[in-house]
Chain A
Amino acid sequence: MVDRVADIWGARTPHGVDEPWPVRVDQYLAEGVPEHEVRWVPSACVLCSNGCGMDIAVHSGRIVGVRGRAGDRVNHGRLGPKGLFGWQANNAPDRLTEPLVRQGGTLQPATWDEAMGLVVERSRQVLTERGPLAMGFYNSGQLFLEDYYTLSVVVRAGIGTPHLDGNTRLCTATADFALKESFGTDGDPGSLRDFDLCDTLFVVGHNIAETQTVLWARILDRLRGPDRPRLVVVDPRRTAVAREADVHLPIRNGTNLALLNGIQHELIAHDRVDREFVAAHTVGYERLARTVADYPPERVAKICGVPADDIRAAAEILGAADRLVSTCLQGVYQSHQATASACQINNINLLRGMIGEPGRTVFQMNGQPTAQNTRETGADGDLTALRNWQNPDHVAELARIWNVHPLQIPTWAPPTHVMQIFRHAEEGSVRFLWIVGTNPAVSLPDLRRIRSILAQERLFVVVSDAFLTETALLADVVLPAAMWGEKTGTFTNHDRTVHLSEKAVDPPGQARADMDIFLDYARRMELTDKDGAPLPKWRTPEECFEEFKRVTVGRPCDYSGLSYEKLRGSGGIQWPCDENTPDGTERLYADHRFNTDTDYCEDYGHDLLTGAAYERQDHAALHPEGRAILKAAHYLPAHEPPSEEYPFLYTTGRTVYHWHTRTKTRRAPQLDAAAPDMWVELAPADAERLGVREGDVVRVESARGRIEARARVTGVREGVVFAPFHYGYWDTPDGVSGDGWHRAANELTITDWDPVSKQPLVKVAAVRVEKIADAGGVPSPAPTTAASRPVGEDLPPTEGGAGVRETVEGASAPVEAVRETVEEGS
């Protein structure tokens, strides 16, 4: 048995490029559960975008554990710490089990009829008085495809408002937009197997070791194997990924675009461009070359704060690659000039002609497990099945399938992003806001502002969730929702792998599946199509899936060859899957023909600086016609640079043990104990200057608020302060109201977003730091593993995840023999 809190990635199973990734089955069962009495229900993990195939262990009607599915293409049996322990949240005693309604200032239990009656009454009132533009809906990246698609039809075709977005806006909106800008439509082109096959990895602002632990285990198995891929890492923190790098570029946050332009400058200057590929399969090279010509390494070194020679070394590795996999995540998406930067990463693979082939791809990575489905179903700022809201034929087709008038679907402007929905609520034109399975009172930037918006008397707030979150406490009606494992549905990970997750147990009390809640709302609202038939017309998840298949036919995310039957017990199937590709499609663009035909593309593109939406004639004038688009942009300084008053650069991020605002992981004892409370990270030189040592309490302040937490001195870049964004207020000793709002990282972040993807910017702000109390012998609650590892301090190591069984298939030696300690690679 293994402690998988201490040993995050589990035992190594190294292999070479010519060998398959070995199977290792990870299993964790609650203590005392008789294994032979357990019923295993196939599912997949919903605690990150990898979406590992997983069986849920059920005993006496309760979830009692999990194990990885050996035959699954995503994880070959492995699970990460969040997956192994996170399921315990389902059994938490404080689950919401009945609807709540605000009465006399407090939330009181109510029946479903009372609660839904109120929601419907208020909806009708707002619709009558102000129309659909006064209605807003904000959902999640953690529901199932069927939940999202139902919501999408209810809101877009039924209610008819453009104000529908997902919290995927905070997580992968930029991935979505960068893919659309470069390749014409959403959908990551590559396969996870490309990590097994590459010879070079380019990792930008992506702490894989903590955000996708099983993927990192997969990469470690290559890094420890006979033909180790070379690794270039861009990250202001010294993450576990950075520690493995051949070249680590700890750039100043907010300067990604300058660096990436600089790398392209070097690729072009040293003729590392696949000219033939670029000529045949891309447009925009001249403009790109002209733009990046302004970024020689010396200039970039000054902007980014890293040595010019390291930039050259990085470019040399990328230029010498034969099989290059590039990947990025929040360090790009949540930072300054997000979409512009993400597009440059696409460009690098395009310049090298490395896409659509084994070991050659770019991953615009997802963060949440089902973010891909929010995008595909149109429950965020996209139109269903990767359709183009500016293309009247696409809208007409959707209207025909939904049997509504095309004008009913609001497409006069881009679907509204969440920051804009909140802005409309702030100025009073949105009066009804339904928040589904997400916690903006902790996860959106500038929290004082968000709380003041949600608390307004004139705004009616509905929250459906499994727990009484900080956001739910501000609601007028709270609806108890079923969680993963308590409903059936499908979801899709970042390499387009679709899994079916079966219902294993009943939801607690009166909790209901989100899809059922939306259907109930639609029936009570008497939503109908143009012939008076109920809208949506399905009742079960499987019926919904069948309807979704219909709407995807001929689009890039074609699901028409899939079915519940086919997915049941499968190892995951990648879309597109139609009658010609019944086993799915491992890689997109294998023929180097991209989805950029003007009539087919999902978006006509944007100006990367202003976000100005291009129109049909602009796109057509480019003549992309199946060629990828090389987008170029100049670096601009961030909007809030450090100043005399606020001299530090502030960035927020994640730890391996927690998920979002900890509504689930706080309720899993092993994960909670591993990272129980808020901390902030300082670089050694800054800590010394401020007189701060491990565990001292510091106050971090921006123009918008302040937080107080114990400091950890780590390998973060000098001048940068890092804070994890997971910690809110519901579990503080004084309760939510407490003595002020000084815990959540987003108290300090700025209200600002990327002009193209509209993703909020939570990785660049200016702050000041001061010490306010001595440690008193208490260390910082930060984990000692991964990126928050202390520098120069000997602290008790983070542990407490015992009882996990790892079984390596065909291993001749016991697993322990190949186990490494957490010190690996240091």
Chain B
Amino acid sequence: MRVGRAVSDAQEAELDLARQLRRVGERHAAEPDLYHLGHTLARRCGEHVERLAPFARRYGVRAREGRTESPHLLEALRRRSGELVGHSELAGLLLLRDLRDLSLTAHEAEIAWVILAQVAQAVRDPELLQVATECQEDARTRGKWLRTRIKQAAPQVLVAG
């Protein structure tokens, strides 16, 4: 049985996404929704990871910590440069690229939850199933948010930019 593997994969995928959400938020600090929501969602990823801790123990893999805050100085620096880049006409292209990458990482995380929910059913672990199902719903919402944001940004960047 490799149930632990599915738990680790979900942990890793959420941590990856959290880091990327913060990085993109800071890099595009001139887009306030990305900055604030990026950080809110990154915290949320951390909560998902923490929810998996008991299952990591249960299935014999390392429980990861949910905290993924950037070092303060680095964050401030990225944010400042994000504000500066925000005034350039290239900001849009960079934004669209980052959103696209972000949505791929988010998709990976969503699939990790799908897999975990399947595994939880197969091993008849209702507690894990509940966590996986709830986190999967969060992951779906995240994906919708990114899709909404990309739909809005793409024409502006590629047609008027």
Contact = CB atoms under 8 A, between A and B. Distances in A.
Interface of A: 130-131, 133-134, 412-414, 416, 419-420, 423-424, 426-430, 607, 609-615, 636, 639, 751-753, 755
Contact of B155 (A413, A426, A612, A755): A413
A610 B102 CA distance: 15
Interface in B23-42: 30-33, 36-37, 39-41
Interface in B103-161: 141-142, 144-145, 147-148, 151-152, 155-157, 159-161
Given A427-B88, A429-B92, A610-B142, A412 B30 contact: no
Contacts of B36: 639, 752
Given A610-B41, A755-B33, A427 B144 contact: no
6 contacts: A131-B160, A423-B31, A429-B160, A614-B144, A639-B36, A753-B32
Nearest to B137: A607
A361 B155 CA distance: 41
A635 to B, nearest CB: 12
Nearest to B151: A413
Contact of B89 (A427, A612, A613, A752): A427
Contacts of A614: 144
Contact of A427 (B91, B142, B145, B151): B91
Q: Which 7 residue pairs are nearest across A and B when measured between Cβ atoms?
A: A133-B160, A612-B145, A612-B144, A610-B145, A413-B152, A429-B160, A134-B160
Contacts of A430: 160
Contacts of B147: 612
Interface residues of B, number: 29
B4 interface: no
A544 B147 CA distance: 38
B86 A426 contact: yes
B89 A609 contact: no
B159 A133 contact: yes
A419 B33 CA distance: 10
Given A429-B161, A611-B33, 19 more contacts: A131-B160, A413-B148, A413-B155, A423-B30, A424-B160, A427-B87, A429-B89, A430-B160, A607-B144, A607-B145, A610-B37, A610-B41, A610-B144, A611-B145, A611-B148, A612-B145, A614-B144, A639-B36, A639-B39
B30 A609 contact: no
Nearest to A414: B152
Contacts of A414: 148, 152
Contacts of B41: 610
Contacts of A416: 152
Contacts of B33: 611, 753, 755
A429 B30 contact: no
A412 B155 contact: yes
A613 B33 CA distance: 14
B152 A607 contact: no
A162 to B, nearest CB: 8
A614 B141 CA distance: 9
Contacts of B31: 423
Contacts, number: 82
B104 to A, nearest CB: 17
Nearest to B29: A751
Contacts of B40: 609-610, 636
Interface of B: 30-33, 36-37, 39-41, 86-89, 91-92, 141-142, 144-145, 147-148, 151-152, 155-157, 159-161
Contacts of A428: 87-89, 161
A156 B6 CA distance: 49
A800 to B, nearest CB: 42
A130 B152 contact: no
Given A413-B155, A414-B152, A426 B160 contact: no
Nearest to B43: A636
Nearest to B142: A610
Contacts of B89: 427-429
Contacts of B145: 607, 610-612
Contacts of B144: 607, 610, 612-615
Contacts of B92: 427, 429
A426 B144 CA distance: 26
A420 B95 CA distance: 14
A114 B30 CA distance: 37
B148 A424 contact: no
Contacts of A419: 32
A755 B37 contact: yes
Contacts of A134: 160
Nearest to B90: A427
Contacts of B156: 133, 424, 429
Contact of A429 (B39, B141, B151, B157): B157
Given A429-B160, A611-B148, A614-B144, A133 B155 contact: yes
A639 B40 CA distance: 9
Nearest to A751: B32
A411 to B, nearest CB: 11
Contacts of A413: 148, 151-152, 155
A366 B113 CA distance: 43
A130 B161 CA distance: 8
A291 to B, nearest CB: 12
A414 B159 CA distance: 17
Contacts of A133: 155-156, 159-160
A296 to B, nearest CB: 20
A613 B152 CA distance: 11
Contacts of A423: 30-31
A751 B31 CA distance: 9
Nearest to B152: A413
A380 B151 CA distance: 19
A412 B144 CA distance: 15
A423 B40 CA distance: 21
A610 B141 contact: yes
A209 to B, nearest CB: 33
Contacts of A613: 144, 148
A412 B155 CA distance: 9
A755 B142 CA distance: 13
A636 B37 CA distance: 11
A764 to B, nearest CB: 12
Nearest to A754: B33
B86 A427 contact: yes
Nearest to A760: B32
A412 B88 contact: no
A612 B148 contact: yes
Contacts of A607: 141, 144-145
A752 B32 contact: yes
B26 to A, nearest CB: 14
Contacts of A420: 152
Contacts of B91: 427
Contacts of B151: 412-413
Interface centre among B91, B141, B155, B160 (most CB of A within 10 A): B160
B14 to A, nearest CB: 16
A428 B152 CA distance: 16
A611 B40 CA distance: 12
Contact of B159 (A131, A611, A612, A755): A131
Contacts of B142: 610, 612
Contacts of A753: 32-33
B37 to A, nearest CB: 6
Nearest to B85: A427
B44 to A, nearest CB: 8
B18 to A, nearest CB: 15
B35 to A, nearest CB: 9
